[in-house]
């Protein structure tokens, strides 16, 4: 779908919505107007009807996390759905020769479906009038800040402009939702939907077209005019006008029952008068019955009515004597019933309070058990700290048998994501929002495996373990696994960073100074294998790469070349591995302007685009990755791009 439409929709306010098909029916039942997306597939909605699905199919929303964007005006979902689906320019008109008001009358009366656009070489803004269901919905984006106007104000501003109006013939496709989840309430999706301004959304555009193509018949059985056949949707104003026409026609009837046609400007044809009969609730059979009733039949009916009335009076008098005698008994019975109802209500309330008491007691016991567990955990951690401090002191005194430089030490080291107790909390549970950041940090263990005997190795004058845990690579791995999930949840950017967010919980192994073997398809020479290297590679249990990172520990600003190098390597990996989710550039300084421009060029729509995914390098419908720029300062990390 066009990036400008995505940017415009992303500016709309969001509202909470359930995930998957339940969320779709929640929007349908609530007569929602706007757009909904799972991050890739988009759908436009008007008064609960889905008027178009783009960049995917409606089944993509099943079990997906959804974001709903509320449209500021009814015209916008229709306009964007028509633009996204595509249309055909049927004509262009110069405003001084054909005013917009004249063009509007022609299109409205002809039941035109599509829109009029005035935007080319118009400095003041972009102007549109959307037509559907016999209604015109004007909308305009005015000024440099594209202030939204609608209704009469938008139409009047457009009518005052001088320029070329393009008439675009476009349509929408009403989409059926997947089967409603069992137990959900029924919605209005089985019938037509009409908004407060009178726009009628038919269940299916093809059905509507089929209805308009059927020939209508007039009162004599002949074919009716095209205008009458096309008038399949009748607004309140049209009903009033046609009813008045029918009354005038009845008044003009002559003495022998013949009726002269009254030309009040309404379309001719028998279907119009049949429609009026249906709207007034009187069918042809009832009308014939009224006309054929004779005076004698009427007199008999009145006599029968008088006789029935007399019998009713006598019956009512007898019933009155019986009611007086039973009043006292009924009063006593009523008091008894009322007391029974109060007693039942009191018993129900007692049961509710007892249940609440038991629940509170259960929570109290759980909290006591949790406090005891935490005390035990504190004691264990204190003991572990004392042991590690003692070991560090011993290591500092011992002279190592071997010395390695930092590059050698890191290239021979792998990290593994493990836990002190998986029941106490994992990255997966953190992504679900079930544990706190402190609980995750306490339980996470980054165990290491080396290709050398680490106990007897010194790096930069320190024991290997002390060196490893102080490196930016190790600290970055801890930050990505323990902090990023919570930063994304707190800023509610899960939908925009969905691929990165969902991949974090699958990290199982981390290669320092890692390599990724990929096969690149070459149109001339066929498949070609190559190896891409990164400073850090995060992998899942199957060994597939999920994230890659490049580090710049210079005191100088990080420049454009570092960004280009990482992006080129990440593209190759992403094309070969669909699960690859993100590439990080980590600097101990900052990114200069050229580096930021390269990042903007690499991501779809730019860094400041409000499209469905933040800072995303899209390669195809299924492949792509988030490009992230990270600054490391004082043993902490800050996500510069994308901005949360």
Give the residues across from 66 on adjacent strands: none
Identify the pLDDT of residue 268.
Answer: 31
Alpha-carbon distance of 430 to 483, in angstroms, equals 10
Alpha-carbon distance of 193 to 199, in angstroms, equals 8
**H or E stretch including 164?**
strand 164-169
* Rg of the chain (C-alpha set): 37
Alpha carbon distance, N-terminus to C-terminus of the chain: 24
Alpha-carbon distance of 508 to 446, in angstroms, equals 10
Domains of the chain plus CATH, in order, are 87-169 (3.90.70), 403-644 (no CATH)
Alpha-carbon distance of 607 to 591, in angstroms, equals 14
Per the rule left: phi > 0, alpha: psi between -120 and 50, beta: everything else, 221 is left
Closest CA to 277 of 251, 239, 225, 248: 239
Per the rule left: phi > 0, alpha: psi between -120 and 50, beta: everything else, 624 is left
Per the rule left: phi > 0, alpha: psi between -120 and 50, beta: everything else, 52 is left
With beta carbons less than 8 A apart as the criterion, state whether 472 and 553 touch.
yes
Contact residues for 3 (Cβ-Cβ < 8 A; gap 6+) = 604, 605, 609, 611
Identify the pLDDT of residue 460.
Answer: 85
With beta carbons less than 8 A apart as the criterion, state whether 557 and 565 touch.
no
Identify the pLDDT of residue 491.
Answer: 84
Identify the pLDDT of residue 435.
Answer: 85
**H or E stretch including 166?**
strand 164-169
In degrees, rounded to 5, the angle at the alpha carbon of residue 255 between the alpha carbons of residues 249 and 258 is 50
- Which phi and psi angles does 402 have, rounded to 5°? -145, 145
Length of the chain: 644
Q: How many CB atoms lie within 10 A of CB 196?
A: 8
User: Is residue 623 classed exposed, middle or buried when 0-12, 13-18 and 19+ CB atoms within 10 A define those classes?
Assistant: middle
- 618-624 long-range CB contacts below 8 Å, 24 or more apart? 619/571, 619/574, 619/575, 621/40, 621/55, 622/578, 623/574, 623/575, 623/578, 623/580, 624/499, 624/574
Per the rule left: phi > 0, alpha: psi between -120 and 50, beta: everything else, 425 is left
Q: What is the DSSP string of 350-402?
A: HHHHHHHHHHHHHHHHHHHHHHHHHHHHHHHHHHHHHHHHHHHHHHHHSPPSE
Closest CA to 200 of 116, 104, 135, 129: 135
With beta carbons less than 8 A apart as the criterion, state whether 38 and 64 touch.
yes
Contact residues for 136 (Cβ-Cβ < 8 A; gap 6+) = 104, 107, 108, 129, 130, 155
**H or E stretch including 140?**
strand 135-142
Identify the pLDDT of residue 397.
Answer: 59
Alpha-carbon distance of 81 to 1, in angstroms, equals 10
Closest CA to 238 of 267, 209, 260, 217: 267
Identify the pLDDT of residue 191.
Answer: 43
Q: Rounded to two decimals, what is the model's pTM?
A: 0.41
> Is the preceding omega at residue 449 within 30 degrees of 0, hence cis?
no
User: Is residue 113 classed exposed, middle or buried when 0-12, 13-18 and 19+ CB atoms within 10 A define those classes?
Assistant: buried
Alpha-carbon distance of 7 to 9, in angstroms, equals 6
- 206-212 long-range CB contacts below 8 Å, 24 or more apart? 208/232, 212/111
* Residue ranges in the chain modelled with pLDDT below 70: 183-332, 394-400, 521-526, 604-611
Q: Tens digit of pLDDT for each residue in 438-491? A: 888 888 999 999 888 888 888 888 899 999 999 999 999 999 998 998 888 888
Full 3-state SS string of 520-583: EEECCCEEEEEEEEEEEEEECCCCCEEEEEEEECCCCCECHHHHHHHHHHHHHHHHHCCCCCEE
């Amino acid at each position: 779908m066009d990036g400008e439409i995505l940017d415009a929709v992303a500016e709309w306010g969001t509202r909470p919505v359930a995930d998957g098909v339940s969320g779709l029916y929640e929007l349908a039942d609530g007569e929602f107007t706007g757009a909904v997306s799972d991050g890739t597939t988009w759908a436009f909605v008007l008064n609960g009807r889905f008027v178009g699905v783009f960049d995917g199919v409606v089944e993509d929303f099943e079990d997906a996390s959804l974001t709903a964007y509320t449209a500021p005006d009814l015209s916008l979902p229709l306009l964007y759905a028509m633009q996204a689906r595509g249309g055909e320019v049927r004509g262009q008109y110069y405003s001084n020769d054909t005013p917009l008001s004249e063009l509007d009358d022609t299109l409205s009366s002809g039941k035109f479906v599509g829109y009029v656009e005035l935007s080319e070489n118009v400095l003041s803004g972009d102007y549109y009038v959307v037509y559907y269901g016999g209604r015109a919905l004007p909308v305009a984006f005015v000024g440099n800040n594209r202030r939204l106007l609608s209704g009469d104000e938008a139409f009047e501003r457009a009518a005052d402009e001088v320029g070329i109006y393009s008439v675009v013939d476009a349509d929408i496709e009403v989409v059926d939702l997947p089967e409603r989840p069992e137990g959900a309430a029924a919605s209005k999706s089985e019938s037509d939907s009409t908004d407060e301004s009178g726009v009628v959304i038919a269940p299916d555009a093809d059905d509507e077209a089929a209805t308009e193509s059927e020939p209508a018949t007039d009162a004599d059985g002949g074919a009716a005019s095209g205008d009458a056949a096309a008038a399949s949707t009748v607004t309140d104003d049209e009903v009033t006008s046609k009813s008045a026409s029918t009354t005038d026609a009845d008044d003009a009837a002559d003495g022998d029952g013949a009726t002269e046609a009254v030309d009040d400007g309404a379309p001719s044809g028998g279907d119009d008068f049949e429609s009026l009969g249906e709207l007034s609730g009187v069918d042809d059979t009832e009308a014939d019955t009224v006309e054929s009733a004779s005076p004698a039949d009427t007199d008999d009916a009145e006599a029968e009515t008088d006789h029935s009335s007399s019998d009713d009076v006598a019956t009512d008098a007898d019933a009155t004597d019986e009611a007086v005698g039973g009043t006292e008994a009924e009063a006593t019975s009523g008091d008894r019933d009322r007391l029974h109802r109060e007693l039942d209500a009191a018993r129900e309330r007692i049961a509710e309070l007892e249940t609440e008491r038991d629940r509170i007691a259960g929570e109290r016991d759980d909290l006591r058990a949790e406090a005891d567990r935490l005390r035990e955990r504190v004691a264990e951690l204190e003991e572990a700290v004392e042991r590690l401090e003692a070991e560090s002191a011993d290591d500092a005194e011992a002279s190592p048998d071997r010395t390695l430089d930092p590059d050698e030490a890191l290239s021979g080291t792998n990290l593994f994501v493990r836990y002190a107790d998986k029941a106490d909390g994992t990255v997966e549970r953190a992504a679900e929002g079930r544990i706190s950041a402190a609980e995750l940090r306490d339980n996470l263990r980054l165990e290491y495996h080396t290709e050398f005997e680490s106990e007897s190795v010194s790096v930069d004058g320190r024991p290997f373990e002390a060196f490893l845990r102080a490196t930016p690579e190790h600290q970055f791995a801890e930050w990505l696994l323990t902090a990023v999930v919570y930063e994304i949840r707190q800023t509610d950017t899960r939908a925009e960073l969905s691929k990165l967010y969902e991949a974090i919980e699958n990290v199982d192994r981390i290669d320092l100074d890692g390599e990724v073997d990929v096969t690149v398809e070459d149109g001339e020479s066929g498949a070609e294998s190559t190896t891409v290297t990164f400073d850090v590679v995060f992998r899942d249990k199957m060994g597939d790469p999920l994230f890659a990172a490049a580090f710049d520990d210079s005191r100088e600003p990080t420049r454009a070349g570092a960004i280009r190098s990482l992006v080129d390597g990440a593209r190759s990996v992403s094309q070969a591995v669909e699960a690859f989710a993100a590439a990080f550039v980590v600097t101990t300084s900052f990114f200069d302007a050229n580096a930021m421009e390269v990042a903007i060029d690499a991501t779809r729509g730019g860094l400041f685009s409000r499209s469905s995914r933040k800072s995303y390098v899209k390669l195809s419908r299924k492949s792509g990755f988030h490009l992230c720029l990270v600054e490391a300062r004082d043993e902490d990390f800050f996500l510069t791009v994308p901005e949360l």
